[in-house]
A and B are shown apart, each in its own frame.
Chain A
Amino acid sequence: MLLAGALVCGAVAHTSAQTYDGPRTADGRPDLGGIWQVLGSAAWDLEAHNAQDGIPAGLSVVDGGTIPYRPAAATARDANRVNRLTDDPVRKCFLPGVPRVTYMPWPFRIVQTPDHVVLSYEFAHTVRIVYTDGSPHPLPNDFWLGDSRGHWEGDTLVVDTTHFNGQTWLDAAGNHHSNELHVVERYTPMTEYHLDYEVTLEDPRTYTRPWTMRMPIYKRMEPGLRLLDYDCVDHLLDALSEAEGGAR
């Protein structure tokens, strides 16, 4: 009871600290519609890291600085890091998983209806359909991007994602998870130009406790902006045909 009380108080404090009251949809929700993108270097490494050739340095986006791996999972992360140029699933053009897809360095579009929030990402034309109609996670299937069900807590869109296949990474530095991953994302509008993005990851096989990352998501403001193509498979086939010495 005490714990529950503390959690509720925490949630209320979080919500009341946020005083921005922006545009709303016809059903009274904050209107998140538009094209958004994360800046920063979480895509390369969620934890604090120095620059390398082609990789910008970055502060940690993880609360407390480091991901609380179990010992075997930490060893696996280190091996991933060594072999990242061949083993990173994104380098094979596999879907990037959640939450990695959010902070890949490409924009994404949010389209919002009373029953769904559709997230369309420029990277590999990835799509997430977040059901906000109160429906539960449906089936025992597993997915690269998991199954996402959302609800509103005040002006925060809360997205609960489970049913992962365990084959995705969290960044290009080898941070990872298992198929027991449970992700809770919180999208809170803070100004006209940015959302607060807070993600809690729970995976008892990989981590010693749930942990949280947070970063802003920025609105892209260019007039006439639209999502363009980054068709990863197209580039992969190009690379193959160059290796074969001919046109695709």
Chain B
Amino acid sequence: MTKVHAGRIAVVALVLAAPATSLAQDGGFEPPRTKWGDPDLRGHYLPGPYQALETPTSEWAPPEGANQGQGAAFSRFFEPDPDAPARPTPARPDGPMIIDPPSGQVPFQPWATEQRNEIMARQDQLEHLDPRVKCLPAAFPRAHLPVGYNTYQIEQGPGFILMLYEWNHHSRYIPLDDSPHIDPAIRLGMGDSRGRWEGNTLVVDTTNFTDNTWPVGHGAPPEGAPGSALSTGHGVFHSDQLHVIERFTFIDANTIQYTATIEDADVFSQPWTLRYNALQRAADDHMLFEYACHEGNGRNLSLMTGIDVEAARVHPIP
């Protein structure tokens, strides 16, 4: 009970702190505006430089020669293009993404810590395997954390934002209105989002999640960090009570700072918040490619779990 009470106090503190925080976040940068007057988020973006999710529990350092700048999430997979035009190195704040609680750790309830350990110990079982490896949705904030191969396209019109995710061809249509979330009986892998502007910040409130995704997790965890390291975010699960509040703010012409507050009273002892320079403007000729995740994944899953995934059939049409 004491912990629950402390959680409620933390919520009040967060709410009180929010206006000051958002002012600080804007940092005075005035983003370009659309013809209809909203901050203009349209464009193509790459994930930001990698950063530990949590305060690491063991020593680790970026790998020798790793690209710490544009597209650093890809640096484990691709050599930097020597002919690419020089681009400013995006700001990479020190410390973990988690800014609240101050410990920099996911505030699991005790039972949930045990559950996470169980999940990570059983990654050879389909039931526990990372949902992204199974090509299930990424949910949030995970869809905005660094993952090799993920890039973003944002389209925008009066009254809506459309975010397109290269990874597993996800998208989310965000109405910018105060309509209520859909019927709680409806569950969506990427949740049900509503957006609004607070100054130059896009605030997105998302509920109606399923309970079979992970809210965080790096596709490209720090080099040398085991999958179970807290710095990867792997194995962090949630219930269908997950509620995520995201804030997208331009801090300069090429960088959108991303702040997400994660609430789930069934799993965590308090709401927690991460902040990450999640979107780095891509070159003008960038395009999203088709990422057919599941289509080539059957043998992969079979090797990991011993289950003949390629033999499975569904019947979407009788």
What is the bound-complex CA distance between A120 and B192, given in angstroms? 15
**Are B317 and A94 in contact, with the CB atoms below 8 A?**
no
How far in angstroms is the closest Cβ of chain A from B190? 8
CB distance from B34 to the nearest CB of A (A): 10
Binary contact readout B278-295 vs A (1 if CB under 8 angstroms, 0 otherwise): 000000000111101111
Which chain A residues lie closer than 8 Å to B316 at the CB level?
90-91, 104, 123, 230, 232, 235
Report if A24 contacts B (CB, 8 A).
no
Q: Please name all residues of chain B whose beta carbon is closer than 8 Å to the beta carbon of A90 when the two chains form the complex.
A: 316-317
Closest to A246 in B: B127
Q: Is A234 a contact of B136 with CB atoms below 8 Å? A: yes
What is the interface residue range for chain A against chain B?
Answer: 35 or more
Q: Which residues of A contact B292 (CB under 8 A)?
A: 94-95, 143-144
The size of the chain B interface, using a CB distance under 8 A, is 48
A221-235, CB < 8 A from B: 224, 226-235
Across-interface contacts of A53 in B (CB, < 8 A): 318
Query: Which stretch in B60-68, B163-171, B267-275 binds the other chain?
Result: B163-171
Query: How many angstroms from the CA of A89 to the CA of B56 in the assembled complex?
Result: 44
Complex alpha-carbon distance, A191 and B254, angstroms: 42
**Chain A residues with CB below 8 A from B186, complex form:** 228
Per-residue B-contact encoding for A72-91, CB less than 8 Å = 1, 0 else: 00000000000001101011
CB pair B317–A172 under 8 Å, yes or no, is yes
**Given A26-B35, A141-B289, A240-B312, A105–B317 Cβ distance below 8 Å?**
yes
Q: Tell yes or no: B198 within 8 A of A by CB.
A: no
The reply on B6 being an interface residue by CB < 8 A is no
| Cβ contacts under 8 Å, B164 to chain A | 118, 127, 129
Cα distance A113–B155 in the bound complex, in angstroms:
8
CB <8 Å contact, A233 and B135: yes
**A233-B136, A237-B134 known; A86 and B289 CB under 8 Å?**
no
A92: chain B residues at CB < 8 Å are 298, 310, 312-314
Which residues of A lie under 8 Å from residue B317 when comparing CB positions?
43-44, 88, 90, 104-105, 172
Q: How far is the CA of A246 from the CA of B128 in the complex (A)?
A: 12
Residue pair B171, A127 in contact (C-beta under 8 Å): yes
Complex Cα distance, B186 from A95, in Å, reads 24
Q: Are A138 and B173 in contact (CB under 8 A)?
A: no
Q: A43-B317, A125-B170, A227-B173 are in contact. Are A233 and B294 (CB under 8 A)?
A: yes
Question: Considering the chains assembled together, what is the distance between the CA atoms of A243 and B309 in angstroms?
Answer: 11
With A54-B318, A111-B157, A232-B316 as known contacts, state yes or no: A237 contacts B290, CB within 8 Å.
no
A87, chain B: closest CB distance, angstroms: 10
Q: Are B173 and A226 in contact (CB under 8 A)?
A: yes
Shortest beta-carbon contacts, A-B, top 10: A54-B318, A143-B290, A172-B317, A91-B313, A127-B169, A233-B294, A94-B295, A240-B312, A229-B188, A235-B314
B contact set with A: CB distance below 8 Å:
35, 42, 126-127, 134-137, 153, 155-157, 160, 162, 164, 168-171, 173, 179, 182, 186-190, 192, 212, 287-290, 292-295, 298, 307, 309-310, 312-318
The contact sample of 30 A-B pairs, CB cut-off 8 A, is A53-B318, A85-B315, A91-B315, A91-B316, A92-B313, A93-B294, A95-B169, A95-B292, A118-B162, A118-B164, A118-B171, A123-B316, A126-B169, A129-B164, A141-B289, A144-B292, A145-B290, A172-B317, A227-B173, A228-B186, A229-B189, A232-B314, A233-B293, A235-B316, A236-B294, A236-B309, A236-B312, A236-B313, A241-B127, A248-B212
